[in-house]
């Protein structure tokens, strides 16, 4: 996969700016910080459909991004405007359609691989250089090594799926009980001081009720949108599969056999049209609800502004005390039970992932080879599934994260059949010597020459990337407002 052109246009601008990238290494460079290097890197990821956070002073929603890509010799034009992602004129509503969009563009349908995609190809200056095998990458994007290797193995058995779903449900329950525990502890502190008086419903309370109802409606729509998108994706996958197999059926009129295609499948296109129309209608309803919720929240802020902080605090405290008492002991007991069940299921899922998984063996071979080359001490156990990072120093952890990531990238590219881009934001670490960074990047250049690489850094690394395409960032790339812009 190669990104050839990247075009940026502010919503209030009459002109756009275009950047050209090379298939090899592209270095986004400046001599100082805060000049837009990270912003450009994240903007590319935003265009590709990932939910990455804005940087200071730049809202990606205010821009339209366009890119020209080549994936396995096939050209793609990708346009992102707010939550609308268009790929070769096929529209996707984000974040609901994120998986469908990446499947359409990259040909990856395994949900575990899609979940871990950004965590595989992206290093960043905040968490990326300390995240070895699981945790948050950037924004809401996470990486989980067990999930990643389950995806490579294509373990889509019913048992594994049910375990994953149960763990997800337990995580939500555990989060709820942790909040209940906080409430219980707070109630115990205030119940001795607060008078239990509340026999009226204020305007503020009616707003609260309305807001809760709107949010419940929004959640229902989000759930149905997700379900519809999954149905549309599966229907398409089924029809594409049937067509690829060149299946024929007997002609009831006695003529030539009839090939099974989308056109000959009974009621396929009408059903597809109905599902698409329903999704569009739900998307519109979701937008209306979001506007209504924003209006209610604005009214709440206005109401709060009319009340002095002490009285508002007193009122909220009284409301909390009126909630039926929550016993901390009962909450602790339930929390312990849920966490114990989660650990048992997680251990079972990990064992299923490791059993007969040749991808794990291959990963260890790659990691061991790089560990030897980068002089990682022999007594550092190379355990892909470890949770013990406290014993590893900054420099050693930096190296280990790097070689683990290289192994993940190699395996993912082998699995999907083509080289994926690599995004690296600020490879230098506080505790890492310049020579170590140079050594690591030399490995990247040598073994990943078929990958398009994006590096944002205040260093040019001329001794490594002597022929890299350098974009000199001066902080003006996103400064494209029209003179008519009143913001």
Please state the φ and ψ torsions of residue 29, each to the nearest 5 degrees.
Answer: -125, 150
pTM, two decimals, is 0.69
**86 assigned to some structural domain:** yes
315 and 358 share a domain?
no
CB neighbour class for 160 (10 Å; exposed up to 12, middle 13-18, buried from 19): middle
Tell me the Ramachandran region of residue 254: left when phi exceeds 0, alpha when psi lies from -120 to 50, beta otherwise.
left
Q: What is the pLDDT along the chain (487 residues), one digit of tens a residue?
A: 999 999 999 988 888 999 999 999 999 998 887 888 999 999 999 999 999 999 888 999 999 999 999 999 999 999 999 999 999 999 999 999 999 999 999 999 888 999 999 999 998 866 656 677 888 888 888 898 988 999 998 876 677 778 888 888 888 888 888 888 887 777 666 655 544 444 334 556 666 777 788 888 888 888 888 888 888 888 887 787 777 878 788 888 878 888 888 777 777 777 887 788 888 888 888 888 888 888 877 776 666 655 544 555 566 556 655 555 666 778 888 888 989 998 898 888 888 888 888 999 999 999 999 999 998 887 677 788 876 655 666 778 888 888 999 999 999 999 999 999 999 988 875 557 888 888 999 999 999 999 999 999 988 888 898 889 999 988 888 886 554 443 4
CB neighbour class for 177 (10 Å; exposed up to 12, middle 13-18, buried from 19): buried
The count of structural domains within the chain is 2
Q: H or E segment at 274?
A: helix 268-306
Secondary structure class of 91 (helix, strand, coil): strand
CATH code, 419: 3.40.50.300
Residue span of the structural domain in which 225 resides: 197-320
Q: How many angstroms separate the most distant Cα atoms in the chain? A: 88
Query: How does DSSP assign 396-458, residue by residue?
Result: HHHHHHHHHHHHHHHHHHHHHTSPPPEEEE----TTS-HHHHHHHHHHHHHH-TTS-EEEEES
Please state the φ and ψ torsions of residue 327, each to the nearest 5 degrees.
Answer: -80, 120
**399 assigned to some structural domain:** yes
**482 assigned to some structural domain:** no
430 and 300 share a domain?
no
Q: Give the span between the Cα atoms of 355 and 360, in whole angstroms.
A: 10
Q: Give the span between the Cα atoms of 386 and 133, in whole angstroms.
A: 8
82 and 219 share a domain?
no
Bond from prior residue into 95 cis (ω within 30 degrees of 0): yes
CA dihedral 165, 167, 170, 175 (to 10 degrees): -110
């Amino acid at each position: 996969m190669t990104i050839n052109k990247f075009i940026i246009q502010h919503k209030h601008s009459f002109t756009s700016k275009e950047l050209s990238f090379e298939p090899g290494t592209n270095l986004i460079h400046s001599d100082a910080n805060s000049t837009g290097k990270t912003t450009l890197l994240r903007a590319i990821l935003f265009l590709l459909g990932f939910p990455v956070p804005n940087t200071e002073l730049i809202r990606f929603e205010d821009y339209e991004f366009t890119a020209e890509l080549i994936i396995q010799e096939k050209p793609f034009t990708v346009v992102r405007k707010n939550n609308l992602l268009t790929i070769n004129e096929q529209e996707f509503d984000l974040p609901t359609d994120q998986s469908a969009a990446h499947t359409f563009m990259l040909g990856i349908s395994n949900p575990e691989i899609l979940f871990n995609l950004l965590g595989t190809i992206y290093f960043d200056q905040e968490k990326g250089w300390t995240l070895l095998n699981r945790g948050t990458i950037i924004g809401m994007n996470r990486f989980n090594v067990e999930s990643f290797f389950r995806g490579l193995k294509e373990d889509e058995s019913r048992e594994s799926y049910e375990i994953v779903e149960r763990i997800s449900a337990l995580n939500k329950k555990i989060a709820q009980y942790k909040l209940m525990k906080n409430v219980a502890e707070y109630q115990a502190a205030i119940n001795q001081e607060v008078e239990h008086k509340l026999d009226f419903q204020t305007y503020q309370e009616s707003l609260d009720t309305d807001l809760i109802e709107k949010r419940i409606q929004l959640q229902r729509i989000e759930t149905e949108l997700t379900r519809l998108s999954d149905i549309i994706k599966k229907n398409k996958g089924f029809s594409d599969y049937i067509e690829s197999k060149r299946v024929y059926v007997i002609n009831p009129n006695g003529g030539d056999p009839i090939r099974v295609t989308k056109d000959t499948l009974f009621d396929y296109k009408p059903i597809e049209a109905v599902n698409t129309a329903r999704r569009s209608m739900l998307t519109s309803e979701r937008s209306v609800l979001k506007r209504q919720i924003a209006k209610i929240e604005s009214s709440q802020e206005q109401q709060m502004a009319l009340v002095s902080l002490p009285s508002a605090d007193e009122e909220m405290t009284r409301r909390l005390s009126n909630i039926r008492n929550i016993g901390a002991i009962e909450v602790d007991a339930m929390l312990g039970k849920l966490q114990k069940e989660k650990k048992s299921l997680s251990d079972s899922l990990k064992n299923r992932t490791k059993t007969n998984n040749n991808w794990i063996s291959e990963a260890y071979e790659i990691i061991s080879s790089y560990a030897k080359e980068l002089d990682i001490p022999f007594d550092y156990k190379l355990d892909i599934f470890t949770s013990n990072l406290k014993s590893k120093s900054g420099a050693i952890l930096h190296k280990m994260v790097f070689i683990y990531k290289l192994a993940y990238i190699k395996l993912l590219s082998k699995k999907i059949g083509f080289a994926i881009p690599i995004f690296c934001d600020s490879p230098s670490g506080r505790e890492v010597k310049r020579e170590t960074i140079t050594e690591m990047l030399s490995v990247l250049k040598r073994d990943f020459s078929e990958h398009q690489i994006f590096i944002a850094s205040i260093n040019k690394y001329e001794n490594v990337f002597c022929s890299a395409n350098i974009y000199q960032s001066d902080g003006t790339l996103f400064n494209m407002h029209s003179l008519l812009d009143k913001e």
